[in-house]
Amino acid sequence: MNYTNDVSVLDKLDLNGFFVGWPNPPSNSVFKKMLKQSYKVFLAYENEKLIGFVNCISDGVLSAYIPLLEVLPEYQGQGIGQELVRKIQQDINHLYMVDLLCDEDLIPFYEKLGMMRATGALLRNYDRQNGE
Ligand SMILES: CC(C)(COP(=O)(O)OP(=O)(O)OC[C@H]1O[C@@H](n2cnc3c(N)ncnc32)[C@H](O)[C@@H]1OP(=O)(O)O)[C@@H](O)C(=O)NCCC(=O)NCCS
């Protein structure tokens, strides 16, 4: 598996198969734009195909938020998700706050990566889910 934080590789990778379970997922061009406009990303890829990604948005001074982490279903359970989080953590460990929201069953996954359980609040505009 190859890992990179260089978003220019996105132009030559197959980006299909992500946003599993999303009723109204972003198109590949919106997906690519989202990754390119992020503060930091880490990508896992193999044979010209994107296998996993994590992105981070930030003010670059104090705070960062990790909105999305996903590994293609057929590649899950091989440590790729963990590796993506470890790698992006290295790129943002100069910041004070690194936050994310996740389902209860993923808390142990993030605890193993040094993060702490917290409470949060969110808003979702489902009619904007595809980012168009
Ligand atoms: C969450 C996700 C990115 C993990 O990627 P992955 O490559 O499968 O993770 P890893 O192989 O590094 O797994 C590491 C550990 O997390 C555990 N884990 C992974 N997904 C889990 C889940 N949904 N619930 C509980 N545990 C999970 C694995 O069992 C593994 O534990 P182990 O090391 O004790 O065996 C992947 O399951 C995924 O893409 N899920 C759908 C999208 C999603 O939920 N993203 C997270 C948004 S906050």
Q: Where are the domains of the chain?
A: 2-128
Question: Of 45, 54, 103, 112, which is closest to residue 75 (Cα–Cα)?
Answer: 45
Determine contact, residues 123/17, Cβ cutoff 8 Å: no
Pocket test for ligand 1, best of 22, 56, 66, 71 (most atoms within 8 A of CB): 71
pLDDT attached to residue 108: 98
pLDDT attached to residue 67: 98
71 lines ligand 1 (CB under 6 A): yes
Spacing, Cα 81 to ligand 1 middle (Å):
6
At 56-93, the pLDDT tens digits run: 999 999 999 999 999 999 999 999 999 999 999 999 99
Spacing, Cα 116 to ligand 1 middle (Å):
16
78 lines ligand 1 (CB under 6 A): yes
pTM: 0.95
Cα three-residue angle 4-26-8, rounded to 5 degrees = 25
Domain 2-128 CATH class label = alpha beta
Which runs of E-coded beta strand occur in the chain?
2-4, 40-46, 49-58, 63-71, 97-99
Distance CA 66, CA 77 (A): 20
Q: Tell me how crowded residue 80 is: count the other CB atoms within 10 A of its CB.
A: 18
Write out residues in the chain with pLDDT < 70, as ranges.
Answer: none
